Homo-oligomer: A and B are copies of this chain.
Amino acid sequence: MDPALLDAADLLRPFRDRFVLPQGTIYLDGNSLGCLPKATAPKITELVNVDWGQNLIGSWNVAGWVDAPQRVGDKIARLVGAEEGEVVACDSTSVNVFKALCAALSANPGRSTILSERGNFPTDVYMMQGLEALTGRRVSARLVDGETVLDAIDDDTAVVLLTQVHYRTGRVRDMVATTAAAQARGALVIWDLSHSAGAIPADLSGANADFAVGCGYKFLNGGPGAPGYIFAARRHQDTAMPALSGWFGHARPFDFDDAYRPAPGIARFLVGTPPIIGLAALEVGVDLMREADMAQVRSKSVAMGELFARRMAPLCERHGFMLASPADPAERGSQISYAHPEAYPIVQALIARGVVGDFRAPDVLRFGLTPLYTSFGEIAAAVDTIAAVMDEGAWDRPEFKVRAAVT
């Protein structure tokens, strides 16, 4: 596995030129914040100066602002195996989790437990807990160990909230088998695709998924705090109620009626006025991702993960790293994680040398693999830098141990 040969054979290589990539940095954190597509700044500048600055309120109709959540949603739908009219881009992922939970509860009446796994991405769990508290525990939020989640489904389980690719370990769940097993027990399933879309194939229709949510700022390269998205299978759209019933989810928002009447279709999952600038940046990232062949993306991601793991193996022996991701690349998303007791200062020392991964509490170093802009040569160089930092003990400095607000 010579990195230079792998790069020479890389079919996705041309995509690298479509991104702004800072000099002197090997960026392995695209699973936290994706890099800037070169097309984004010009698009935003035009939107701000022309659509906003010159055409002002008229742009809601003329520049397509009013349809932006649906238009971007339809584009995302194609990346996650959904159909047109099943996805809208809007709100934060967290808010979309809440809407999906409420919608699933309304679509599965008579059951009142929402189930997830311990150690799921925190905001998913927190939104469950907030809903439980709001309803005076008429809705129960239940967490069990990840391996037992299907067995824990009982007659009261309305919905299971699961993540396709785990944020810390990168472990992949089988969406098809898991959805079928949960539905066989009478539960609906919400999939969190935050670490999936643009990273590994996801097939919501093929899995017969009920609802899904995801994040715009990771592998979709939509920019910091980009809008998230929400999927509702067409069969649920006319009955499910997302509870956050804002005016953009009304059947006729500009009638200014006193009574909420949900829009038909996916539009009822909209809430407030759409975040137009954020949606424009997200659309550029999504458009770029749609140009890539997802099979090639997955294939390169697996190859990068294998190169990383193979080169890390001696460091595991020499410096006590433990692979925190599944060893089988088929069970791993587009990241690779290692546990180490000194994970935090090691990550800081790597950043100081231009290798940007991130730390995830309590003890994980996490490296995102982004096939559109990461080269095999960078993967090899990143592991060389880890080796150097460890062999030199360069991480063991007080300034690397001060925790920042965001890790």
Contacts and interface: CB of A to CB of B under 8 A. Distances in A.
Tallying the copies of this chain within the complex gives 2
A246 B123 CA distance: 5
A93 interface: yes
Contact of A272 (B95, B224, B259): B95
Contacts of A36: 48-49, 52-53
A399 to B, nearest CB: 14
Contacts of A253: 122
For this complex, into which size category does the number of interface residues on chain A fall? 35 or more
A309 interface: no
Going nearest first, the 3 A-B pairs with the smallest beta carbon separation are A92-B272, A130-B245, A94-B246
A225 B95 contact: no
A2 B66 CA distance: 40
Interface in A224-251: 224-228, 241, 243-250
Interface stretch (A131-139, A319-327, A332-340, A375-383): A131-139
B32 A57 contact: yes
B22 A94 contact: no
A98 B53 CA distance: 31
Interface in A184-238: 215, 217, 223-228
Contact of A91 (B95, B131, B356): B95
A281 interface: yes
A115 to B, nearest CB: 14
A29 B52 CA distance: 13
